[in-house]
Structure 1
Amino acid sequence: MASDVDTAPLVGRADLLREVRSALLDDLAQGHTAAVFLTGESGVGKTRLLREVSTRLREGGALVLTGSCLDIGDASPLHPLLQALRRFDAELTAAQARTSSAVRGLLQMFADETAGPDGAGALLERVSRGLHLIAEGRPLVLVLDDLQWVDRSTRQLLLYLLAGLGDLQLSVLAAVRAESLQGAHPLRRVLTELRRLRSVRVRDLMPLDRADTEQLAAAVVGRPLAAEAAEQVWRRSGGNPFVIEELARDLRDGRDGLSDTLREIFLARVDALPQHAHAVVHAVAAGVEPVDHWLLAQVVRLPEQELIEAVRAAVAHRLLVSADDGYRLRHRLVAEVLQDELLPAERSGLHRRYAEALTSAEAELHQARLAHHWRLAGEPARALPAAMAAAQEAERLHGYAEAHRHWSAALHLADTPTGGPLAVDRAELLGHAAEAAHHSGEHARALALLEDLARADGMSSCALHIRRARYLAAAGRSALAETEYQRVLEAPDCTPRERATAAAHLAELLLHLGRYADAGQRAREALDLAAVVEGSTTEVVLASSALGFSEAYLEDPDAGLAVMRRALATAERSGRPEDVAFAYLHLAELLTGPLNILEEGVVVARRGAERVAELGLGRTWETRLLAIATNGLFRVGQWAEAEKVVAAALRHRPSGADAVELLLARCRLSVGYGDIEAADRDLDAVATVLAGGGARHVIPLLTLRAGLAMWQGRHDLARQAVQRGLTEIRSDDVGILAALVWHGLRAEAEAQASRTVAVDETAVRRLRDVADRVARKSEKAARPVRDVVDGFLALCAAEVGRLNGNDPELWARSVVEWERRNHPYPAAYSRLRQAEALLARRSRVATAGKLLREAYQVAQGLGAVPLMSEIKTLATRARVALDEREQPGDRDAAESRPADDELAVLTAREREVLAAVAEGLTNKEIGQRLFISERTIGVHVSHIFDKLQVRTRVQASAIYLRNGRG
């Protein structure tokens, strides 16, 4: 099974390619022989690797002869060598007459030998001499494919030449299909003999790993695969390149089902098995992997020794994998192929034997497997209790995704006709399934199940409103969620517990909407209601967290923090996963946001992420906490670390509000880095999810949209985004409002500077009015909140000054404000503008140069390319050297820098990328290693080139190696 060389790249074989070439050419002493035998299952890429190595060997000056063995026994002596010589002769030109004569002489010798052989020894010696003449002193490499079918004469020739009996510098590269070397296959003895020679290497070609599988599939499809499609290709292919390419082509062309090519190939491999091994593979294909040996024995019902031999044969044919925990198919695709080959009665019989064996086992029941096998055996009534037990066990272990799957299976079983009533309440199943879907991040599914539950009249209207509100909030539909909670609080027939629950959750929701005063009011109401309700720990935790946040923001930070820490302690004592998650989330939000205690906030967020992951909430609450950590790291200038955190969180593939938090966090990094396309994509995704979202999400979204538009030179779009935020969204969060106002005033100043869009004087007046209102409103907030707002107001005042002559003193005050708060990015931006104002007045040029150098150093450290570009443009125009050691145009100074200083300009992430570039990895390969997109890697590489003042990857790699990093 050779894959099409012209349609797919060689993936995951770079190290082996270098090793094989080196063994056959570079490491070979003059006059010696060497050989590399590549073994592996069909389709693993042996033939492709032979071609790639052959190309590189020819480029290295070797004479390469290529041939293939045929599956016709000894009917064609020395066939692969004859084929190789004929191919080589056909490629020779008139200018190579001497070589052509030697080749034809050797071919004629073969013809004469066929007419009247002189004995094997004489033939081998003449072949050796003939090859020596053809090589003309060059290294000779004989490349043989499908060596498992090698004829006896060729086997003898290989042994003769590799033993050094011929006067020839020869290398042999051959591929062997591993599953064909069964029993007393003659090549097994040959390889055993050859392994004893120090110059011979046998390498087993393994399947691709997951990252390489995704890379190869994406190359065939022509675009990155969706997570679900990538998972399916990986699971079905087992990393076999041929299978990956076939599946990817089906994806690309929109074909459903399995291709006839794959089906026939795998059927042929299964049919080649001995009878008992054939039965074993069918049984494992029907099982849930891994299949324990004792379980397989009860299903196939073979004597122990015969079972072991059958398993051994299936493993040798590369269809089964044996491990300590049981047996697995090497490719799950085999199960799909065999599924269609069995009669329905055969399939149900296998599943029945599995179910009976599991039921009779003395060990603890495997409920999930039991449910699976009883269902496929056609016994839904016996499968249903097992599915419910499996779901309950998964919930006990906080495996909510597993629980969701099992509850869904139980629902399906409950709806399956059985000929009699089932002892189960369908409404109860719907309730469990909806809650499991919510906890596992499947918010749309949870809402759909809840609507089914409402139609089934399985719960009170108040309880239904509360659940619907929780699911809507998690899905990012905050306005609708608020309405549902209000209905509970206004309904006269709701119980005190339901009212306490609604008030507590509403308080928590109002925090996310940025309405802190309202949140505090609802929190107090919830605590009063919970005081008369037993077992209301969850309500107390939620309300206390909301109240503490509100008090810390509006009144007393220390008192509010104390309330929130007590709420966290209460949540930890209760042990309920969502309580713990709520408490960690709001404490981390408060520290990294309004209170600006960034370092502690990042620690709390990461500690909370680890804790909720232990509690089974990785896809939901862990991603939110990691988003908070990312934002904190961004603000303190640790962008490379922030990028790692957000990449780790995205591996959970979050949805709803969880995805919004994370995408906004990643977008901040993309805007800062200047990765416009990635930022635009994330903003579009957030806007799609945020139907009815609150200020805590929508205002940052619009602020980022404005910032991105300004880097694109679209000042009109930036103005529109800011105006929308000021007119449509209500929020008590003066911090995010102040940031939005700054972006609006900055957009007007940028418009004036660019002369492409007229300044909107009405918009400026309105923005100044809003800034004044924010200033007055912040006076009632806690001191840390006022500090953050003061920083943005300083930027606002300086942008207004920029519109009216650009006062450098206003920018100097902004620098002080942001330096004091340890926010390097706005401080660097303010230095740039201060220098611009000084240079415009032609005063204090030396001070301006110093400011530009300081700003450039910070921007370089962050990797903030758009900001760096602005700084460099101004420095060039003003003839200011950004490196104090050189003047503009002075390259000698740059070349005389100490070598150990050359990489100092790179960020930690850029050094990681450069190390991978020096290894020869592509952007896609680097992205897979570092868990970030290929496009982001391209941005990093551009930054590296700019900072190191190089144009190519080779030049950048040379600097890396020169600095002793290799």
Structure 2
Amino acid sequence: MLGTVETTSVSPVFVGRAAELGVLTGALARAAAGEPQALLIGGEAGVGKTRLVEEFTAAARRTGAAVALGGCVAMGADGLPFVPFSTALRALRLALPDALADAAAGQERELARLLPDLGETAAGHHDEEGTARLFELTARLLERVAADHTVVVALEDLHWADASTRHLLAYLFRTLRTGRLLVVATYRADDLHRRHPLRPLLAELDRLRTVRRLELDRLSHAEVGRQIAGILAREPDPAQVDAIYERSEGNAFFVEELAVAAGAGCRTGLTDSLRDLLLVRVEALPESAQRVARIVAEGGSAVEHRLLAAVAGIGEDDLTDALRAAVNAHLLLTTPDGDGYRFRHALVREAVDDDLLPGERSRLNRRYAEALDADPTLVPADQRTMRLASYWYHAHDAAKALPAVLDASAEARSRHAYSEQLRLLERAMELWDATPEAVRAALRPADHTAAYPTRHPDPSPDRAGPPLRYLDLMAEATVAGRLCGERERALRTAKRALHLVDAHEDPLRAAWFWLQRSRLVQAQSRGDGRHELATAQELVRGLPPSEVHADVLAHAAQWFEIRRPGPDALPAAERAVEYARMVGARETELNARLSLGGLLVDSGSVDAGLAEMAEVRALALAEDVPYVAGRAYVNLPSALEAVDRTREAVPLLEEGIAFTRRHGLRDSETWARAVLADSLRSLGRWDEAAQAAADALRAGQDVKAHGHAAVCLARIALDRGDLAEAGRRLALAQDHFGTHDPMPQQTLPLARLALEIDAAHGRVPDARATLTRALADGLPPGTHQHGWPLLLAAATAEADARALPAAGPDRAAVLAHLRATARTTTTCAPVWRAHDQWLRAELHRAEGRDTPDDWSDVVTAFERLDRPHDLARVRHRLAASLLATGGGDDRDRAAELLRLARAVADHLGARPLADAVALLARRARVAVDGASGPGAGDPAEAFGLTRRERDVLRLVAAGRTNRQIAEELFISPKTASVHVSHILAKLGVTGRGEAAAVAHREGLFPAVR
């Protein structure tokens, strides 16, 4: 029977799937043209996903594409992070060795976490940025390799993928932008129960326009017939086709099994249960081959030959005979590297494994573990620790399993596979009570944890340190959960730990867990974390310096820096730096110094603060601390921008974007792009600013940075007169920032935008209400960067609304409030002194008593700054003041100021400013760009109105009195009255109200509102 099966198990004819193959071929063509492609192929077990990928990749190779195959293994639930990517990258290295070496140059130690062949793994920083950096480097590696070669990366069996693999795949699908690259991934759809971890990923990828999903259906009756014909090498009996189609229901793998069984004359004993169907071929093998098949099934998706020989415990010749029988029966296949064996189909492996008795399964796992313990070279080095942990765990030997699981968790951490680390740590906590005390006492924290500062220094002379404690595992699990995004699990662990730790006996450990709770509460959008942080501060108060103490103080400094900046926050940063230095916590020290520098700038010590931040950046680069360097590349330019040293900030930001992108610091890159957008907007490079903000919205996942970018886009839209777009961007920014953790750097810019949009629509009461809410508690110290623009926007809105009847009530109180707030707001840099002068001038304008001297001082102040739009605005104000009070020389100066303002407005596309300049020039009969007055074809001229009468009628239609008309047109009230009389006569009406009605009815002034 085996002789018949030997050559006819798999149909040599590829049946059906023409449409799906066409989709894949089309995607390959687009990828070859330089447009990266991503496809997901789903279908039930046995429907033909692997065969489709095999046929497609064979065709791709014929076109010259490099193909890299990787598969998730069934042991994925027990660890083995990134296995499909490691396998695929190894294949890519074999296919394109020079291209991959060039692409990985300089980052080999980081990429070794995925491809150990590149060398030793870097020590790395264990935080969210470490994972992001690895993911970004992987994406850029693939883009570089695919720059000159068409590359197909095929990843199979995502339903077995570990969490780290899922996260990396999602990252690639979201961020791949360039290169001749096609990524194909398959998954078993019928395995995706309601809570399967792949489901959320598929839902996320469905929302990406760059990802296409294919679902493979079962074969039709005709296709089943062609498949059977290929297997049997002859035309099958129609009745046989009918029977097999009915029983297989078109599942390609079941068709194979049934056709082979029928061809071998197997007519009895074949039940309708899937399990029995799959075991038929196994049971037909010699007993030795069946035994080897059971050993392979329990070993994982693939088992190396030497490991199999050690576990089987039979002679080499007997093992070879048994394996030959299984391979000839198409039950087992050799692995691609030719060093081991795997089942031809995962369904068969699962059926064989399920058929094992519990004791038999446990014994096999023990034998695997013992063999691997005796000779670690039996499996690849990058899989050894994880597989040993899995074997001992399933052998139900807690004494052996706990150390192995802890070793595996440490390796997962070193590879930034924090999801697997968390699961392994939870498994270690499960094993803890079942492990003998003597075994636990031999374990040391440094061997199995990341040495987070959660323990007292060892008071004993024993250099090995104190034994590992259960709380050490909880501490490690808390951090792993935070880093892998399982923040809810991490928060639960931290809360449980705080019930177990005695704060009086172990205040440092308690403080550390409170600090983690603070970070997790903030990350979960459940509050600002201040209570938890304050509790940690109280616990370390008065204790000797330690890493925990320094860490708590450093986080307190960062908390104050972004929520309550100013002089009161300085002591926390200074103490954090001092304590970090005393205990040698270098990274904590640099982080604290960076916060200290920002707080010094905010408190008025600008030069000292900027120097401190610049030194931290230089040290972080020199000492290779990329996380701190990435943060410095954001904070230092942001501080430079705040004090109008924008031209220094822009090149730093551009350098920072390249640095953060190169090191995979995705969130820091997002912030750098958002801050760059602000700086470019200040410099009047609005189109570039809009592009930088759009890039920030596409980069990373930091919602706060996205909110910052949305504010910049709203600002540009508002200054260009697009109120609808400004309102939409404002709403998006509010969504990004949320309401759970208000920060001045978010709330003040949002309030300014809302106020200006309300003012532009003439909603004076709404604008005032926004101001009242924003200043309910005054402006916190150190918030002048956002406070001055808000105060100025409010004063400008009051001045613009001075002539409106609705603006009268409460104006005096609003202006008094603005003056009082300004007196307490710092003017520590020229830009904020200029804003102070501008605010005073706007307040005078709101009261109708501004003078050319007021505005001349403001213009002089802004001429020293790099803010062209602001300078153009104040030049327009000075021109208006000169025209209202001056003579011929003042008119000439005003005309020049208006020409300068108009040139800037036209260059920036600042329509509101351009319109304001044109209106002022027309009213004052001042030539701007060689024109004065309205253009030809003005509908008002149909009534015989002169240009001046048209200006007067526009104001009459807006409800102005003769005195107000005189003020706005720089004429006397008597002259205004004469113009009104002439207008009434020409329109044939008897009063001002009728004149206004005619103007509106005839559409003379459609802009009047």
TM-score, with length taken from structure 2: 0.51
Structure 2 residue 422 is matched with structure 1 residue 407: yes
What is the CA–CA distance in structure 2 between the aligned matches of 1:523 and 1:884, rounded to whole Å? 59
Instruction: Give the structure 1 partner of residue 740 of structure 2.
Output: 691
Instruction: Give the structure 2 partner of residue 787 of structure 1.
Output: 831
Q: Could you report, residue by residue, the CA deviation over 1:556-586 in whole angstroms, capped at 9, with x for unpaired residues?
A: 5333333333444554566556554555554
AA matched with 1:495: P
CA gap 1:324/1:504 in 2 versus in 1, 3 angstroms:
farther
SS at match of 1:365: helix
2:788 aligns with one of 731, 738, 746: 738
What is the CA–CA distance in structure 2 between the aligned matches of 1:734 and 1:269, rounded to whole Å? 70
What is the CA–CA distance in structure 1 between the aligned matches of 2:526 and 2:609, rounded to whole Å? 28
1:489-504 pair list within 5 angstroms: 489=538, 494-497=543-546, 498-504=548-554
1:667-816 pair list within 5 angstroms: 667-673=711-717, 674=722, 675-676=725-726, 678-688=728-738, 690-711=739-760, 714-728=763-777, 730-752=780-802, 760-770=810-820, 772-774=822-824, 777-778=825-826, 781=828, 785-791=829-835, 793-795=837-839, 797-798=841-842, 800-802=844-846, 804=848, 813-816=857-860
Contact 2:734 2:750 (8 Å CA) reproduced: no
1:352-431 pair list within 5 angstroms: 361-366=378-383, 370=387, 388-393=406-411, 395-396=413-414, 399=416, 402-412=417-427, 414-415=429-430, 425-431=469-475
C-alpha deviation, 1:284, in angstroms: 14
Q: Could you report, residue by residue, the CA deviation over 1:629-688 in whole angstroms, capped at 9, with x for unpaired residues?
A: 33333322344444454455545653xxx5324312332223322423542333332452
C-alpha deviation, 1:857, in angstroms: 2.2
What is the CA–CA distance in structure 2 between the aligned matches of 1:530 and 1:206, rounded to whole Å? 46
460-469 or 373-382: bigger deviation: 373-382
Instruction: Give the structure 1 partner of residue 275 of structure 2.
Output: none
1:548 aligns with one of 580, 587, 597: 597
AA matched with 1:666: A
1:598 aligns with one of 646, 649, 667: 646
C-alpha deviation, 1:466, in angstroms: 3.6
Instruction: Give the structure 2 partner of residue 960 of structure 1.
Output: none
1:637 aligns with one of 684, 693, 714: 684
C-alpha deviation, 1:822, in angstroms: 1.3
AA matched with 1:366: Q
CA gap 1:812/1:232 in 2 versus in 1, 3 angstroms:
same
What is the CA–CA distance in structure 1 between the aligned matches of 2:298 and 2:863, rounded to whole Å? 65
What is the CA–CA distance in structure 2 between the aligned matches of 1:884 and 1:285, rounded to whole Å? 88
SS at match of 2:866: coil
C-alpha deviation, 1:773, in angstroms: 0.5
CA gap 1:659/1:266 in 2 versus in 1, 3 angstroms:
farther
CA gap 1:840/1:182 in 2 versus in 1, 3 angstroms:
closer
1:60-459 pair list within 5 angstroms: 228=201, 231-233=204-206, 239-241=212-214, 267-268=251-252, 271=255, 344-345=354-355, 361-366=378-383, 370=387, 388-393=406-411, 395-396=413-414, 399=416, 402-412=417-427, 414-415=429-430, 425-439=469-483, 446-457=490-501
Contact 1:544 1:567 (8 Å CA) reproduced: yes
SS at match of 1:778: coil
C-alpha deviation, 1:796, in angstroms: 5.2
CA gap 1:234/1:736 in 2 versus in 1, 3 angstroms:
closer
Instruction: Give the structure 1 partner of residue 710 of structure 2.
Output: 666
Structure 2 residue 586 is matched with structure 1 residue 537: yes
| Gaps in structure 1 of 5+ consecutive residues | 1-38, 51-176, 184-204, 215-225, 245-263, 892-966
SS at match of 1:496: coil
Contact 2:498 2:513 (8 Å CA) reproduced: yes
What is the CA–CA distance in structure 2 between the aligned matches of 1:854 and 1:646, rounded to whole Å? 25
Contact 2:905 2:911 (8 Å CA) reproduced: no
Q: Could you report, residue by residue, the CA deviation over 1:774-794 in whole angstroms, capped at 9, with x for unpaired residues?
A: 4xx535x3xxx2433423541
Contact 2:673 2:696 (8 Å CA) reproduced: yes
Instruction: Give the structure 1 partner of residue 511 of structure 2.
Output: 462
CA gap 1:652/1:283 in 2 versus in 1, 3 angstroms:
farther
C-alpha deviation, 1:814, in angstroms: 4.3
Contact 1:749 1:799 (8 Å CA) reproduced: yes
Contact 1:613 1:622 (8 Å CA) reproduced: yes
Contact 1:370 1:383 (8 Å CA) reproduced: no
What is the CA–CA distance in structure 1 between the aligned matches of 2:787 and 2:419, rounded to whole Å? 40
Instruction: Give the structure 2 partner of residue 588 of structure 1.
Output: 637
SS at match of 2:381: coil
CA gap 1:709/1:634 in 2 versus in 1, 3 angstroms:
same
AA matched with 2:612: V
Q: Could you report, residue by residue, the CA deviation over 1:812-848 in whole angstroms, capped at 9, with x for unpaired residues?
A: 6545544532123333444555667678899668547
C-alpha deviation, 1:518, in angstroms: 1.6
Instruction: Give the structure 2 partner of residue 522 of structure 1.
Output: 572
CA gap 1:362/1:409 in 2 versus in 1, 3 angstroms:
closer
Structure 2 residue 674 is matched with structure 1 residue 627: yes
What is the CA–CA distance in structure 2 between the aligned matches of 1:847 and 1:325, rounded to whole Å? 84
What is the CA–CA distance in structure 2 between the aligned matches of 1:702 and 1:734, rounded to whole Å? 14
Q: Could you report, residue by residue, the CA deviation over 1:601-622 in whole angstroms, capped at 9, with x for unpaired residues?
A: 3443454555566666x35544
What is the CA–CA distance in structure 2 between the aligned matches of 1:328 and 1:802, rounded to whole Å? 83
TM-score, with length taken from structure 1: 0.53
What is the CA–CA distance in structure 2 between the aligned matches of 1:563 and 1:849, rounded to whole Å? 43
Contact 1:519 1:546 (8 Å CA) reproduced: no
CA gap 1:504/1:492 in 2 versus in 1, 3 angstroms:
closer
> Whose Rg is larger?
2
AA matched with 1:512: I
Paired residue total: 650
C-alpha deviation, 1:383, in angstroms: 7.4
Q: Could you report, residue by residue, the CA deviation over 1:591-610 in whole angstroms, capped at 9, with x for unpaired residues?
A: 222x3222333443454555
C-alpha deviation, 1:741, in angstroms: 0.7
CA gap 1:671/1:182 in 2 versus in 1, 3 angstroms:
closer
AA matched with 1:239: R
1:853 aligns with one of 902, 908, 911: 902
Instruction: Give the structure 2 partner of residue 896 of structure 1.
Output: none
What is the CA RMSD across the aligned residues, in angstroms?
6.3
Contact 1:384 1:413 (8 Å CA) reproduced: yes
Say which structure, 1 or 2, has more relative contact order (CA 8 Å, 6+ apart).
Answer: 2
AA matched with 1:630: A
AA matched with 1:636: L
C-alpha deviation, 1:854, in angstroms: 1.6
What is the CA–CA distance in structure 1 between the aligned matches of 2:349 and 2:766, rounded to whole Å? 56
Instruction: Give the structure 2 partner of residue 159 of structure 1.
Output: none
